[in-house]
Structure 1
Amino acid sequence: MKRQKRDRLERAHSRGYQAGISGRSKEMCPYQMIDAKSHWLGGWRQAMEDRSVTV
């Protein structure tokens, strides 16, 4: 996998995590491509788990 593509997917994961921490809905995912969307949702799910542990 090329570095540029990996960076893009890591950025999608990070943005999903930030959205989850701030309490946004998963339907707010801005990505349409399957790979980026799945990484964004993975970050969002991780944030939801982290939020439930700390609350």
Structure 2
Amino acid sequence: MSDRPVKRVEDYTRPFLVTGFFALFTLLFLIWAAWGYHRALALGAALWLVLRLRAR
């Protein structure tokens, strides 16, 4: 066992959310490029609804 004092863990929530945003943006952009704007818009709307319903 080590005798080092226990410290607070750094909060990585914001970097995780920023990385997730860029990954989602890239995914929607690739869908838009491959299959068109309407499918990317529909997927974005569906994800928004799922997140909105789970937040309740």
- TM-score, normalised to structure 2, is 0.46
- TM-score, normalised to structure 1, is 0.47
